[in-house]
Amino acid sequence: MAVIILDGVAAGGVSAYALTDLATMRAAPWSIPVAGVGAVGDVSLSFLINAVTDMIERELDHKVAARDYKGWHDGSGARYITLPEWPLNSVSRVNIGTLDVLNVECNDPLATEAYAEVNKGGTQLSLTILDGANAGTTDLSFAAGGQTTLTGLAAAISAAAGSWTGTALSGYGGYRSNTLRPCGRRECYGSTATFQIPEDGEAEYRTDYEYGQIILDYGFGRGYRNVYVEYNAGYESVPPTLAWLACEFVALAYYNGKKDASLKSETLGDYSWTAGGSTIIDPSLITSAPIQRRLAPFMNNPI
């Protein structure tokens, strides 16, 4: 089963946003043993729980448990923006447009090219030099030490090997680095690459919590990734239906992985397997009619 481990997870542990947990899977009716014959270690069981959570969320096309989000969205000229995650719990920031706040330049005499970029998640700035003694990439995390502000980030850029210079533009040094707008590589060898943060903060907007919409009476101006939003979305308590379904899938994966080779078929709730399959969970189960009926109320935003 292809798995992407979720955010909020310690090494080998269950994600903070998982749909079930170790204690639940150890208890009745699932009763996955903690010791003795057929036992499964916490790391292996955590892997199954994370994998099943990921599988269900991919089918729903959104995250389930509540968490914070920040990101850039396209303005369409309409009066509203529909956020990708829901249900919406709160909105802490809405900005339209960008401000130039940080300049980056590289003058390494041995380099042939140099680039700077802010990664997709808006969590770090990467400095890349091609050729010469300082060739390679330096990643500067926005969460590290003094790099949480633009002043601190500029200092870290200037301290990087390869004759880099970082400059926080006047008046913006105290702004948060993690609001820098993500972008691809920008050429800065012997020239200046400029990076942006969100501009105008909106003080008056309306929210439709059920459908995850932000409404401005005068509309969101057209543009590509010109609207910045920080918000919290998802279920503050995992819906029992989804928690139960996750438990069923984890148990199915575990017990199918332990099944007696002499068995030809077996049924567990809505699920069944037949000898000869190549996976411990038949991928078609998630799209079967019984499972789709249970998932239907939680499918991605109907708007």
Q: Are residues 59 and 74 in the same domain?
A: no
Q: Are residues 81 and 150 in the same domain?
A: yes
Q: Are residues 72 and 122 in the same domain?
A: yes
Please tell me whether the overall predicted TM-score, pTM, comes out greater than 0.85 for this model.
no
pLDDT at 4: 31
Residue 225: inside a domain: yes
Query: Mind listing the pLDDT tens digit for each residue in 173-232?
Result: 999 999 999 999 999 999 999 999 999 788 899 999 988 999 999 999 999 889 999 999
How does residue 34 score in pLDDT terms, banded at 50, 70 and 90? Answer: confident
Q: Which amino acid is at 6?
A: L
151, pLDDT greater than 80: yes
Contact 83, 230 (CB under 8 A): no
Indicate the length of the chain as a whole number: 303
Residue 5: inside a domain: no
Query: Of 233, 266, 287, at which residue does a domain stop?
Result: 233
Residue 7: inside a domain: no
Q: Which amino acid is at 187?
A: E
Contact 180, 102 (CB under 8 A): yes
Tokens linked to 234:
């998802």
Q: Are residues 131 and 228 in the same domain?
A: yes
Number of structural domains (the chain) is 2
Q: Residue 270 sits in which domain range?
A: 22-64+236-298
Q: Rounded to the nearest 5 degrees, what angle is found at the Cα of 76, between the Cα atoms of 74 and 79?
A: 115
- Pick from 127, 121, 123: nearest CA to 139: 127
Q: Are residues 75 and 183 in the same domain?
A: yes
Q: Are residues 50 and 96 in the same domain?
A: no
CA atoms of 298 and 239, how far apart (whole Å): 9
Q: Are residues 103 and 226 in the same domain?
A: yes
Quick one: CA dihedral 39, 44, 50, 55, positive or negative?
negative
Q: Are residues 242 and 281 in the same domain?
A: yes
Q: Are residues 156 and 169 in the same domain?
A: yes
The beta-strand segments (E) located in the chain are 67-75, 80-82, 88-106, 113-118, 124-130, 136-141, 164-168, 183-187, 193-201, 206-208, 213-215, 223-233, 265-268, 271-274
Contact 30, 251 (CB under 8 A): yes
94 by Cβ neighbours in 10 Å (0-12 / 13-18 / 19+) ranks as buried
Query: Of 191, 213, 233, at which residue does a domain stop?
Result: 233
Find the distance separating the first CA and the last CA of the chain, reported in whole Å: 31
Q: Are residues 180 and 56 in the same domain?
A: no
CA atoms of 122 and 115, how far apart (whole Å): 17
Q: Are residues 103 and 145 in the same domain?
A: yes
235 by Cβ neighbours in 10 Å (0-12 / 13-18 / 19+) ranks as middle
pLDDT at 42: 76
Query: Mind listing the pLDDT tens digit for each residue in 237-291?
Result: 999 999 999 999 999 988 877 765 555 566 666 656 565 444 567 778 899 999 9
Q: Are residues 38 and 145 in the same domain?
A: no
